[in-house]
Amino acid sequence: MKIESVTAHACRLPPASPWEDATNKVAGLELIIVELKTDTGLIGTGLSYTVDIGGTVIKALIDDYLAALVTGMDPLNYERLWLKMNRQSRRLGLGVNSMAIAAIDIAVWDLIGKHYGQPLYRLLGGTRDSIPAYISEINLSSTDRIDDLVHRAKDYHAQGYHAVKIKIGKDDFEEDIERIIRVQEVFGRNKRVLVDLNQKWTAAEAIQKGARLDALHLGWIEEPLLYQDIQGHAALKRAIKTPLALGESLYSREQILAYLQADAVDFIQADVAFVGGITEWQKIAHMGQAFGRLMAPHFMMELSLHLLCGIPNGFMLENVIGGSLTELGLLAKPITIKDGIGSPSQAPGHGIEFNWEAIRQHALTSESIRGSFQGGSK
């Protein structure tokens, strides 16, 4: 089997519900979708994404450089393809290159599944056939009242979710505390409520406020500090009892290894689109297992479902409100969570079937975005 052509598409659309956290207000999700056509007639699809910025850059990197590298190669040699793309793009640094590689790598694994007639999660180990999911909110706007949050929490609980993640990072920490307590009244205090700071706090602030959060028995505190501050996370982990979760802002196995070696993380949230695809993500998962850590991948629910069911150290699936491909209207066949449990497709490959008309309607080009970008970071 040989890759005959590589076609990249890009689209941009707002989240299906508004997204705002302590450090960002998101205007658009940018998805990059790749089709690999082979001489056997099989077509594999892969995807990557960005939040607000960079989608056209990733598509151009694929179109202008990476496509030529993999054309003519056998997708069954997935390690060979990944290494070739990584070696030739590593001078770009971390981030854009791994996000572009991910789209092709995921398409490669889709082809492998279709070639062998097996769903992706079985290729990755087939540890389980389902995984618990938590509902994940991105709603910290100034107009969102606590009563509104409680109303939504009751709805999530009624849908069968046993865990929920909410954003904190208000200027008034007492308001953060009240938000947590009110949601715990719905979900309970036994590590069923998770909180996310999106890198809001300083190191000293995190130790002081984290000590207060210890009394609330949270499931984890996510990204309390800037992602580069390994020693700050290590010091915080020593100072408090609540577990720390992070990884969505890391782009390589080596970056995550540094956190593990410093004993600075409890739950690894590596994002398959950011670390270079499934080939690298699985290595991160196995590395995490060697350090006794559980995987709780960031976003990408439709793919993370397969990843978590493949490995022995999978923890929970994140279902982000307003961010699933189904909610965005980009799927021909919906992929949803039922009663708080995610079950991967049994179709060969990853089972994601795109609605190409919807993707064309939201097409992202350099001309469509140039000169209009305002940014969302606070």
Using CA atoms, how far residue 342 sits from 17, 47, 305, 339, in Å, is 21, 20, 7, 8
The pLDDT confidence band at residue 12, using thresholds 50, 70 and 90, is very high
CATH architecture of 3-117+356-369: 2-Layer Sandwich (3.30)
- Which 3 state secondary structure label does DSSP give 324? coil
Domain boundaries, given as residue ranges, for the chain:
3-117+356-369, 121-342
Q: Which amino acid is at 294?
A: L
User: Which pLDDT belongs to residue 76?
Assistant: 98
What pLDDT does residue 131 have?
Answer: 98
Q: Judge if 3-117+356-369 and 121-342 fold alike in CATH terms.
A: no
What pLDDT does residue 266 have? 98
Q: Calculate mean pLDDT across residues 262-287.
A: 98
Residue 190 has pLDDT above 90, yes or no: no
- What is the pLDDT, as a whole number, of residue 262? 98
Residues 217-258 pLDDT 10s: 999 999 999 999 999 999 999 999 999 999 999 999 999 999
121-342: CATH architecture: Alpha-Beta Barrel (3.20)
Tens of pLDDT along 165-184? 999 999 999 999 999 999 99
* pLDDT, position 110: 98
Q: Which helix (H) or strand (E) holds 10?
A: strand 3-13
pLDDT above 70 covers a percentage of the chain that reads 100
Query: Torsion angle, CA of 211/215/216/218, rounded to 10 degrees?
Result: 60
Please check whether residue 308 is in contact with residue 74, taking contact to mean a CB–CB distance below 8 angstroms. Answer: no
Q: Considering the chain, what is the average pLDDT of its residues? A: 97
Tokens of 86: 């990584």
Q: Which of 125, 131, 8, 118 is nearest to 61 (CA)?
A: 8
- H-helix or E-strand spanning residue 12: strand 3-13
Residue type, 261: Q
- Structural contact between residues 78 and 54, judged by C-beta atoms closer than 8 angstroms: no
The token pair that represents 13 in the structure block: 């659309």
Radius of gyration, CA atoms only, the chain: 20
Q: What is the DSSP letter of 293?
A: -
Mean pLDDT of 80-86: 98
Q: What is the pLDDT of residue 175?
A: 97
